Amino acid sequence: MDALVLLGSFFVLMIIGMPVAYALGLSALVGALWIDLPLDAVMIQLASGVNKFSLLAIPFFVLAGAIMAEGGMARRLVAFAGVLVGFIRGGLSLVNILASTFFGAISGSSVADTASIGSVLIPEMVKKGYPKPFATAVTCSGSVQAILIPPSHNAVIYSLAAGGSVSIAALFMAGVVPGLLLGLTLAALCLVIAKRENYPKGEVIPLKQALKICVDALWGLMTMVIILGGILSGVFTANESASIAVLWAFGVTMFVYRDYKWRDLPKLVHRTVKTVTVVMILIGFAACFGYLMTLMQIPAQVTAFFTSLSDNKYVILGLINIMLLVLGCLMDMSPLILILTPILLPVVKLLGVDPVHFGMIMMVNLGIGLITPPVGTVLYVGAAVSKLKIGVVTRAMSPFFVALFIVLMMVTYLPALSLWLPRAMGL
């Protein structure tokens, strides 16, 4: 009955249209009153939920990504990707995916990826003869890489939701191979579609111009080296790498590229603060909600339920995938990570699944949810950039959903894809 009151109040509040963060907080209060828990205990959990040093990485990575997104980095990454693959048939679709790989490794955000890369490449692809729905579908599906490739904001949130027991550095490294695998799978699909539909080839860029483009993009690409190289070498932590990435992004944008006006900088910082505030409110209320779930033994009940269905971990992982795919269509990614990680992590640990591996499973599942109606945030951003209806974009996404599902199955049932690199790095 306790679980019914907590979860029932949460879903009722969601159904009537209350924002997820406030629904979590109010349902936690309802649950606390139901079991006669002092409200002081809930407030303590709220404060301790956001009073974590590891959370400092989130605002810094968000700010670095915002500076790069609005400071001309997306355009330069697109040009650099064009040098590498733009001359192939269907090359602009490959440029789109490769640019998303580069930009995802800087911003860590699928929404920022879609907005930045899409605003540059969707009009260009349409101009060169690609259907607009196809261009939008490529942009949206390619941006899912940002969920996996470091520095993924959601990997930090997963580490927090796991109680800090999972290393952020290990999660960052675990996402490299699945992220690149996703990009290669989407690229292969684009090549097949381009050959079938006879999409145009791009032009080979002259050597002198190509060198200029590469040098111009190198400043931004150094952000990836700073983030990954610093963490792997042990020179600085994930938090420190995020703050250094902000300084580097600021220096490159304002003093090297000089595309961004100083007078617009306060507005950018204000938007970043608003974004981070929403995330922190969500994390604080989710901590209260998770505390109530623990007191009501909901994770133990869910573990018992899954283990009663089967003792085969592959079957249970398949069932968890189905559940995550369905829920990913109905809720945004961050709250689902915060709610479901404390519930599902005990289940997979009992089955012998590595928590880092499970983090990648969750990221791919919920990343697919970001481009799936009715709540797919990235899908809506892509449709807004291209000025297409959601239904039109969704239909164009059909073959890309198949590719993403194949990657999901590989990440789920081939744990070495996620665990090889962090183990090789001793993480």
The mean pLDDT value of the chain amounts to 84
Q: How much is the pLDDT for 180?
A: 92
- Evaluate if residue 400 carries a pLDDT over 90: yes
Cα angle: 322, vertex 323, 326; to 5 degrees: 85
Paired strand residues for 201: 89
In angstroms, the CA 280 to CA 286 distance is: 10
- Sign of the alpha-carbon dihedral angle for 329, 339, 241, 56: positive
Q: How much is the pLDDT for 419?
A: 93
DSSP, collapsed to helix, strand or coil, labels residue 89 as: strand
The owner of tokens 């983030």 is 227
Residues near 82 by Cβ (< 8 Å), separated by ≥ 6? Answer: 91, 92, 95, 202, 205, 213
Q: How much is the pLDDT for 166?
A: 86
Q: How much is the pLDDT for 363?
A: 93
- 142 or 262, which is more confident? 142
- 220 or 346, which is more confident? 346
Q: How much is the pLDDT for 355?
A: 94
pLDDT digit string, tens, across residues 278-333 = 888 888 888 888 888 888 877 777 878 887 888 888 999 999 999 899 888 877 78
Cα angle: 230, vertex 334, 26; to 5 degrees: 135
Average pLDDT (261-265) is: 82
pLDDT digit string, tens, across residues 347-382 = 898 888 999 999 999 999 999 988 888 778 888 888
In angstroms, the CA 31 to CA 37 distance is: 8
Using 50, 70 and 90 to split pLDDT, how confident is the model at 427?
Answer: confident
CA 29 to chain centre: 30
In angstroms, the CA 38 to CA 338 distance is: 23
- Evaluate if residue 385 carries a pLDDT over 90: no
pLDDT above 90 covers what percent of the chain?
19
Q: How much is the pLDDT for 305?
A: 81
- Evaluate if residue 343 carries a pLDDT over 90: no
The model's pTM is 0.85
How much of the chain is in helix, strand and coil states, percent to nearest 5?
A: 80, 0, 20
Q: In residues, how long is the chain?
A: 427
Q: How much is the pLDDT for 412?
A: 95
pLDDT digit string, tens, across residues 159-168 = 888 887 888 8
Report the helix count and the strand count for the chain, using DSSP H and E.
24, 0
Structure tokens of 325?
Answer: 């795919």
Residue 156 gets the label, from left (phi > 0), alpha (psi -120 to 50) or beta, of: alpha
- Evaluate if residue 31 carries a pLDDT over 90: no
Q: How much is the pLDDT for 378?
A: 86
Owning domain of residue 75: 2-424
Residues near 40 by Cβ (< 8 Å), separated by ≥ 6? Answer: none
Using 50, 70 and 90 to split pLDDT, how confident is the model at 92?
Answer: confident
- 186 or 304, which is more confident? 186
Q: How much is the pLDDT for 177?
A: 93
Helix axes 238-251, 57-70, angle to 10 degrees: 20
CA 57 to chain centre: 15
Which DSSP string do the residues of 188-215 spell out, in sequence order? HHHHHHHHHHTPPB-PPPPHHHHHHHHH
In angstroms, the CA 239 to CA 242 distance is: 5
Cβ proximity of 201 and 142 under 8 Å = no
Cβ proximity of 241 and 226 under 8 Å = yes
Q: What is the CA radius of gyration of the chain?
A: 22
The owner of tokens 């291209």 is 386
Average pLDDT (40-51) is: 81
In angstroms, the CA 97 to CA 155 distance is: 21
Q: How far is CA 266 from CA 48, 60, 63, 73, 271, in A?
A: 30, 15, 12, 19, 9
In angstroms, the CA 151 to CA 148 distance is: 8
Residues near 378 by Cβ (< 8 Å), separated by ≥ 6? Answer: 110, 111, 114, 140, 143, 144, 370, 371
**Number of domains, the chain:** 1
Q: Which amino acid is at 82?
A: G
In angstroms, the CA 320 to CA 32 distance is: 28
Q: How much is the pLDDT for 361?
A: 95
Q: How much is the pLDDT for 414?
A: 94
DSSP, collapsed to helix, strand or coil, labels residue 278 as: helix
Average pLDDT (87-104) is: 83
Cβ proximity of 145 and 101 under 8 Å = yes
The owner of tokens 């649950």 is 31
Cβ proximity of 379 and 373 under 8 Å = yes
Q: How much is the pLDDT for 167?
A: 86
